[in-house]
Structure 1
């Protein structure tokens, strides 16, 4: 993710912070500083740092549970709206998804319990009546512990709402998937999630809490996206990558000049070109490679000088869903398709999206034909 910088590494997982996260620290400091001056500003910043430490531990809960099931975790990114653990692939079994989804809130339960038990003597000094009346308490250890405890309890309650992309939505899908297929379980969970989002949105508008209304909108569209991705996964498993690559694609040889690639791009609108010699794949050249070469090399270099040599290899019998997962794991947008030791062609992420749109169109037409019969 762009504008995200690594701040730590735990169990092989990069923990990154997005540059916009600094806004959260600033807003937290300003809110407390508005009532309590410089001391309040420092207090607010420290409170936000502590809160997002809890969010990081929440995401580590998901990540370590995923690693237990041999699911790779690419990174954890801290954003102003929370944390995101980017998994290399989805859990294969409902039980795995249930445990991974539950691990995050479980961490916050442990943190909240520890704060309540260990910090009980300090919390007892807090003016509870003033808090109930909406008074802004002065910065103190008791105030710090109270807000951190409240934040963890809120994280648990909010994340257990049965709506995608929250943990509760994933837990609901996992339970449903134990009794039905993955796609249907996702559809049911997404529908419930969107209904919950509508209720949250209405509550937010009625109460004047527009942050809650915005969150409801995000949940609504997040649930819809999750449903689409589940349908896409089901569709992509039905087609082999050997049926999706461009069988009429133009290719290059190492001795070709970049000017020839420019001609090919202009006449064929093909963005990626395999570089082959004697039927063997040596590398590939993309449109971006060509543009970079034109900007940096006015001498019209050979293709061999600018081509990318590291290519991820897949078998023609692999499903498009497997290939998409492989692309995500390897962080590439292009793979080479082989049948045994014979190179067949290249497939890009754009090719997968096009294949998916075609398959969706065909299935829609088939349903319309059945309805009209």
Structure 2
């Protein structure tokens, strides 16, 4: 009996000791490096970012190896619903309570500006995908904020000159009635004037607009050679469907949609948008590298990646490289490495990040193929011209970013 009691006692001590040791072991386990994908998961931008952006960030983590600084990497996501107050609340909670070290995507301009101010105050990193407002890298620029894909200037200013050289020298604007629409119209109008073209008129429409008939009729009656549609997501889809019904392209007017997403084209069908002209920083079928990555993406998402989703992958991957180079998660130290390191991945080769946070990379003037030119699924774009990074980026000499003056 005594031997039996001794065994029971020893076993109990062993179990208690193990239980006591568990918390100490947990304390020794480093917390994960958290990447927050703040995006529109349920609204009008869902298909161009949303779950696809979350997947892109996870693919970047996988390609990096899943760990950095000896710590696991975790991707969390939040739905900002395209509302600044909602987006800011999520970002604040992630930064202050959730242990997030970086926020990526964001996209919608008002949300992006709100999140950028939170990141600035906390020396946290934010990497924007598609964000229309040039203020992100101009007046509102921050040491820890970066713009990875496009803004209003990059997709508006380079397009008019080649069109005017083709004799398409008169323009009419249909612009979304918010800051993004105004910024894009201003950038395009300046470029049109500089290239010798003429703006014959413009009209503004509200966001989430179901009926474009009156606006399109004004554009047609202007007899402008180019109808310049400044819109995004479902507004683009609705406007182009109705333009097809009016037979605008058949009537000889070219429709330009600077902010064109491959998901919009797929939803509409290329027969409805053939000839559409635009600028883009990314096309899935442009190179062997973009194809290989996009096919991986497609297997999990059942749609080819948009430029925003590709930018989220690239920005996330570059952030992790910068963390490793800085050997730190300190926002200012990581931001320094983000600017120092060249950006090399399937999205951009030998890209450079400027003092204002803008990623220098080329854009591509593209048009939608005729149905007979399509050789495989999602084979929609013809790349007509490479727009060098120096032409796509607003010159630093015109910059209103305080960081630019400090760096000179």
TM range (shorter): under 0.3
TM, length-normalised to structure 1: 0.28
Task: Point out the structure with the larger helix share.
Answer: 1
Point out the structure with max Rg over C-alpha: 1
TM, length-normalised to structure 2: 0.26
Task: Point out the structure with the larger strand share.
Answer: 2
